[in-house]
Amino acid sequence: MYMIVVLSGNSKELMTDSGAEGLEACHSAHEDAVEETQERSPAKATGTSYQADSLMYAEAVKSSPEDESPSSEGQQWKENVKQLLDACEKGNLQSVKHVIESGHLRVSIEDETGTTPLHSAAANRHVNITRYLLHKGANVDERNRMDETALHLAAGSGDVRMVKLLLEHNADISATDCLGNTALHFAAREGKTNALHLLLWIGANIDATGNDNLTALHLAAWNGHANVVNDLLVYGADLNKKDIWGHTALHIAAREGYPLIVKDLLHSKADLNAQADDNYSALHFAASDNQLEVVEVLLSSGAAIDDTDKYGDTALHSATSYGHVSMMKTLAEKGAEVNATNSYGKTPLYAAAFGGHDEALEYLIDIGADPHAKDKQGDTALHWAAYHGHVKVVELLLSKGLDSNAKGYYGRTAVHRAAERGQAQTLQVLLQAGGSPNVTNEDGETPLHIALLRNPDVAQLLLEKGGDPSIKSEDGGTGLHLAAWTGNVDALRLVLETGKVDVDEKDFAGCTALHLASEQGHFEVVEVLIDIGADPHTRDKQGDTALHWAAYHGHVKVVELLLSKGLDSNAKGCNGITAVHHAAERGQAQTLQVLLAAGGLPNVTSEDGETPLHIALLTNPDVTQLLLEKGGDPSIKSEDGGTGLHLAAWTGNVDALRLVLETGKVDVDEKDFAGCTALHLASEQGHCDSVKMLLDYGASVSAKDNINLSPLDKARLKGHEKVSALLEGKVNERPKFSTNDVRDLAFREKPRDTFLRRDVKMADEALGKAGLHFDELNKIRVLDPEVSTTTTELKEECKDFVDKIAEFQKIVGSFIEMVDRLAKEVEKEKMKAIGNRNQLKSMAKQREAQEQQLQALISEKKTQLERYRVQYEALLKDEAEQQEFVEQFILQK
């Protein structure tokens, strides 16, 4: 069974079971029941300590399934806590004592917000309950979820007795909440003067700062508590202390509109012209928030009326930004400069135009503001009003004689600015006032160009007012090019319906509208252009068709459409590159599949002898398998003699290398025109896995390139230690002779003295029959006396020769030592020279390979770069305009 204790005021109800009386009685508020149960079963009740966690739910005792669930226990516990906190809040001391002394809830129990009974009592000024809770062991510095202590809440409520009681129990006077505020901050913020005095008398830090560097003086000024401000000043608060934004108490009081506090601060010598981090002064703050009385006080105290912030704005700029006409009049009457310019050359008139404040604008013009003034970029207020679509301001400025065709920054007119932002109503007003839809800026762009590029919705209005889409911009593009580039089909149709443009008109890069639409992947635009008669076979200045561009960017639907119109997937463009090359280069697998299915050749070569497979291996190996499956031949050599195997080895892509080797179409030791094998290239690049694979396929470690370097030499020169060690292990392997090899070698050695031995034997037998016996030497003397004489002479000569040989040997030994030393030095120098030469050769080859890679990209990108230039310059203008917008936004601030 689950025990449930229900408390209601002082009433109680105990639900129990005979098997759990002791446990349930301990949770009950009925002291008699507890005592009775302890007498009957002391072991069950004695020494029980109730902690917060153990009281979260009532103990469960096994019983019948019909008993209450644990969820009901948790709900009851929450209800009990709520009732205790309510009792503390309402000041019901008897109920509080009953719950606490019954042992049902601990004295520091807290709810889900972290509020304890002490917090509740202190916040609601119940001193007796607070004293009781402290007596029962409540922690005086307990914190809630906001890190607030009872002292914070007491100070905020202004109960001096409560504050004193908590301090007597050693409450931490410097404790801070989650915002860094002390009890003094709370008292100042709430305007509790007596509590403030007590805290200061006890020793609270008067200039303590919170997380935002706000002091008690800041908070008192913020909330308009003049008495608290005066008291803090009397106690010596730092009146010029700044928060993290550089605001002093004077800034805050001026902004919030408390003239009395402003006077008190100034009387206490607050810095009148102190500036915040954005160089805003108190006058700026008051003017921005239309605090007229405060401005009067500041100006009468000597505030600099034309003092500027970090952007060069005066107080008049600030007031005008918000359209505070009454404030503007006050400042102007006090002598503010009506044509003062900020850091960007903008007068207050610009602020009025930017914000669309027509009344403020008219007032400024009436008191002498120049409506024709230009900022540092050459724009007038009309340009900005048109840009933001403030129709009334535009009409007012036009009535003052401003020209809607006057050019400002980058040669733009107000018509350009309105078209750029799609301000249709403003554009209508400007065109009716004589604004031209065909006037050009410095890039040769008309308002129609701008509209087609950024806001096609107003293109129809410009066309109706005489906008000419055939006018070419600086890059040779017409309105048709821009409509195609953006992909707006409706705008495209509007341009085509004028009949003023040639559908195959080329810009200065030789691109037609079809090229641009294909490049951007605008399928509907491509479809419309072809339907109206655009020639899909037209080539740009680099020789590329729309198909090349669509394939390069992977626009599958556009590629399929162009192929259906008869374009050849093998047609060569820039540098002999086909659409298949382009798709392979960018790894456009789906596009490549479409092109190959349409008859695209995987082995067609460019001017550099590169096939799509070569390019894929070099730039996007992921599509290699597709090309091989479609018949790509890795054995075809490019301009430098390299095969697909060379390229796979060079890039180090092991998967691609394996695919090439598994075709069986390449010789693993095939050399390019520099004499390099695939192993040379992999070793030079340090691709250890590729080297292992090539060795597994039988690549020769002893192959030499045209400068007599082996793969090991290449690896050593590049400092690839792992590859070098791998190759050295292969080089050091020696072949072993078999037993048969040794026997065959011995068999080939023929005895050369067979006949000599036979003659000597016959002579010896003849002398023996004659009774003569000679040793070997006498035999020779008898048989050949001349040999004996000659032998004696030879013996002497040999002796002399041996002596001379010994001397010569010494000389030769010395010479050999000298030669060895020289040889070693020469070898060192030779290796250095070879290393340097090979390194230079290797660097040259690497640069050549890189150049070959980049050359194709460069040639292909030239056209695209030319085409992107327009967009880049447009972005630059956008950036400048956004910067201006930011500046004006800051000006409003």
pLDDT tens readout for residues 453-464: 888 889 999 999
pLDDT of residue 4: 28
pLDDT of residue 28: 32
* Domain presence at residue 431: yes
Residues of the domain holding 488: 472-525
pLDDT of residue 811: 82
Q: How confident is the model at residue 622 (pLDDT cuts 50, 70, 90)?
A: confident
The pLDDT tens digits of the residues spanning 357-373 come to 999 999 999 999 999 99
For residue 617, pLDDT over 50 is answered with: yes
* Domain presence at residue 401: yes
* Domain presence at residue 288: no
The pLDDT tens digits of the residues spanning 777-831 come to 555 554 455 655 666 777 777 777 777 777 777 787 777 777 777 777 776 676 5
* Domain presence at residue 263: no
Residue 413 Ramachandran class (φ > 0 left, ψ -120 to 50 alpha, else beta): beta
For residue 489, pLDDT over 60 is answered with: yes
Rounded to the nearest 5 degrees, what angle is found at the Cα of 843, between the Cα atoms of 838 and 844? 95
Q: How confident is the model at residue 407 (pLDDT cuts 50, 70, 90)?
A: very high
pLDDT of residue 456: 86
Task: Pick the last residue of a domain from 468, 500, 533.
Answer: 468
pLDDT of residue 865: 66
Is the domain of 796 the same as that of 828? yes
pLDDT of residue 106: 78
For residue 523, pLDDT over 80 is answered with: yes
For the stretch 6-15, contacts whose Cβ atoms lie closer than 8 Å and that sit 24 or more positions apart, written own/partner, are: 6/76, 7/80, 7/83, 7/99, 7/104, 8/83, 9/92, 9/95, 10/94, 10/95, 10/98
Is the domain of 460 the same as that of 476? no
In this prediction, what percent of the chain has a pLDDT beyond 90?
A: 64
Task: Pick the last residue of a domain from 67, 93, 109.
Answer: 67
For residue 745, pLDDT over 70 is answered with: no
The pLDDT tens digits of the residues spanning 171-206 come to 999 999 999 999 999 999 999 999 999 999 999 999
Is the domain of 455 the same as that of 488? no
Give, as one character, the DSSP assignment of residue 887: H
For residue 228, pLDDT over 90 is answered with: yes
Question: What is the DSSP annotation of 625-662?
Answer: HHHHHTT--TT---TTS--HHHHHHHHT-HHHHHHHHH
Q: Which helix (H) or strand (E) holds 12?
A: strand 11-14
The pLDDT tens digits of the residues spanning 38-89 come to 332 333 332 322 223 332 322 322 233 333 333 555 666 677 677 777 878 7
Measured distance CA(458)–CA(307) in Å, rounded: 43
The pLDDT tens digits of the residues spanning 567-602 come to 999 999 999 999 999 999 999 999 999 999 999 999
Sign of CA dihedral 231, 236, 239, 244: negative
Mean pLDDT of 842-859: 63
Q: How many helices (H) and strands (E) does the chain have?
A: 47, 2
- Higher-confidence residue: 525 or 862? 525
Confirm if 251 and 282 have CB atoms less than 8 A apart: yes
Is the domain of 767 the same as that of 887? yes
For residue 660, pLDDT over 80 is answered with: yes
CATH number at residue 506: 1.25.40.20
For residue 17, pLDDT over 50 is answered with: no
Is the domain of 861 the same as that of 883? yes
Mean pLDDT of 624-633: 93
Average pLDDT, the chain: 83
pLDDT of residue 289: 96
Least confident of 78-87, 125-134, 667-676, 852-861: 852-861
Measured distance CA(524)–CA(487) in Å, rounded: 8
CA 293 to each of CA 287, 321, 323, 330, 877: distance values in angstroms, whole numbers, following the listed order: 10, 19, 18, 10, 43
The pLDDT tens digits of the residues spanning 243-302 come to 999 999 999 999 999 999 999 999 999 999 999 999 999 999 999 999 999 999 999 999
List strand residue ranges (DSSP E) for 683-733, in order.
none
Is the domain of 859 the same as that of 835? yes
Is the domain of 885 the same as that of 790? yes
pLDDT of residue 815: 73
Is the domain of 395 the same as that of 485? no
With CA atoms as reference, report the closest residue to 681 among 691, 693, 696: 691
Instruction: Give me the residue label for tokens 């048709």.
Output: 480
Question: What pTM was computed for the model?
Answer: 0.67
pLDDT of residue 26: 30
The pLDDT tens digits of the residues spanning 715-742 come to 999 999 999 999 998 877 644 434 344 3
Measured distance CA(273)–CA(655) in Å, rounded: 72
Q: Structural domain tally of the chain?
A: 4
Residue ranges of alpha helices (H) inside 506-575 are 513-520, 523-531, 546-553, 556-564
pLDDT of residue 216: 98
Is the domain of 819 the same as that of 861? yes
Is the domain of 10 the same as that of 51? yes
* Domain presence at residue 874: yes
For residue 711, pLDDT over 60 is answered with: yes
Is the domain of 781 the same as that of 885? yes
* Domain presence at residue 135: no
The residue type of 663 is T
Annotate 738-803 with three-state secondary structure. CHHHHHHHHHCCCCCCHHHHHHHHHHHHHHHHCCCCCCHHHHHHHHCHHHHHHHHHHHHHHHHHHH
Mean pLDDT of 614-634: 91
* Domain presence at residue 740: no
* Domain presence at residue 884: yes
Could you give phi then psi for residue 23, rounded to 5 degrees? -65, -45
Is the domain of 885 the same as that of 768? yes
Measured distance CA(262)–CA(457) in Å, rounded: 53
The pLDDT tens digits of the residues spanning 229-247 come to 999 999 999 999 999 999 9
For residue 856, pLDDT over 90 is answered with: no
Measured distance CA(246)–CA(309) in Å, rounded: 13
